[in-house]
């Protein structure tokens, strides 16, 4: 689907080689965008001011889509609170500041669902984002990302700088991160089930009580939401990106067990944290402001993710 919006535009996509970024870049190319630059960490360390300045000098962009993040699941967040706060904070702050200095026409900042307060009423509405402290296990990461919202609004007010701030919920899909040290819940569960089947194990251990709920958002849907927001949305008010669904972790485990064919026992390690008690977004604003609505059926998305992982293991 080509639109005139992308014609002759130069785009920097930080994190463009990552999980979400690869889908965003693919959709940009399908829309006719020819000039996309993906800064690689070995060449541009986005936590270093000199590297960011050099990036904007090397590639004269019209739009920056900032997807890069230092991120992981609950365990990784507990082990790296300082690093996750610092790296994400300085990346966002300096990328936006130097984008402003370089007269970038639009800056698209990706926040995180972890920025919401721990006890946000469900469904999460964008206006609730400042009404409390985030869930403790990932608060440093969530707060670092949320600072881009404050920066975005301040820069629009003072400089007329066009930046937007999007809040995607938990992503999943083919090409996800399946590293058990840093993966999120869906890839972690798929890996446990498929590996247990392949190794003949009769038990898998799952963190928490299973009572917490989550909303899951297919990565290709998220990429489409980001593209539509870049094309059509020009305000600094935050916008949720999600599917508007909710499932308990216990029901999620049951579904992944069924879809992978694991027949063994599930043991719940209740000494491990559940994380935020509930998560489901109000996704009406994205549809009203830039016409985005998620399309992927959850069970179908899981099947595709499981199939991809199985192929990557055997491949």
> Which active-site residues does the annotation give?
141
Cβ partners under 8 Å of residue 198, min gap 6: 313
Helices within the chain (DSSP H only)? 19-30, 49-58, 74-79, 81-101, 139-159, 185-199, 219-232, 249-260, 284-290, 298-314
Are the beta carbons of 290 and 229 closer than 8 angstroms?
yes
Cβ partners under 8 Å of residue 25, min gap 6: 13, 16, 36, 38
Are the beta carbons of 187 and 309 closer than 8 angstroms?
yes
- CA-closest candidate to residue 197, choices 250, 259, 255: 259
Residue 213 forms beta bridges with which residues? Answer: 248
C-alpha 117 chain-centroid distance = 17
Q: How far is CA 95 from CA 88, 91, 111, 219, in A?
A: 11, 6, 14, 24
Query: With DSSP H G I counted as helix, E B as strand and the rest as coil, what are the percentages for the chain, rounded to 5?
Result: 45, 15, 35
């Amino acid at each position: 689907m080509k639109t005139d919006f992308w014609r002759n535009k130069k785009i920097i996509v930080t994190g463009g080689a990552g999980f979400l970024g690869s889908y965003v870049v693919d959709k940009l190319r399908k829309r006719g965008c020819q000039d996309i630059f993906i800064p690689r960490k070995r060449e541009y360390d986005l936590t270093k001011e000199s590297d960011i300045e050099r990036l904007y000098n090397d590639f004269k962009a019209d739009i920056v889509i900032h997807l890069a993040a230092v991120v992981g699941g609950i365990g990784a967040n507990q082990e790296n609170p300082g690093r996750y706060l610092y790296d994400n904070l300085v990346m966002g702050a300096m990328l936006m500041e130097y984008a402003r200095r370089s007269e970038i026409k639009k800056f698209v900042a990706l926040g995180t669902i972890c920025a919401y307060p721990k006890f946000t009423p469900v469904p999460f509405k964008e206006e609730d984002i400042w009404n409390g402290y985030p869930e403790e296990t990932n608060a440093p990461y969530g707060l670092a990302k949320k600072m881009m919202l404050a920066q975005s609004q301040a820069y629009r007010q003072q400089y007329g700088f066009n930046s937007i701030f999007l809040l995607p919920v938990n992503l999943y899909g083919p090409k996800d991160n399946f590293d058990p040290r840093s993966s999120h819940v869906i890839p972690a569960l798929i890996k446990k089930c498929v590996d247990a089947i392949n190794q003949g194990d009769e038990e898998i251990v799952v963190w928490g009580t299973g009572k917490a709920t989550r909303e899951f958002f297919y990565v290709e849907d998220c990429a489409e939401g980001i593209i539509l927001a870049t094309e059509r949305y020009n305000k600094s008010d935050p916008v949720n990106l999600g599917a508007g669904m909710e499932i308990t972790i216990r029901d999620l485990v049951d579904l992944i067990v069924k879809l992978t064919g694991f027949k063994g026992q599930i043991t719940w390690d209740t000494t491990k944290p559940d994380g935020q008690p509930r998560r489901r977004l109000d996704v009406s604003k994205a549809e009203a402001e830039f016409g985005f609505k998620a399309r992927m059926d959850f069970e179908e998305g899981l099947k595709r993710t499981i199939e991809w992982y199985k192929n990557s293991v055997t491949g």
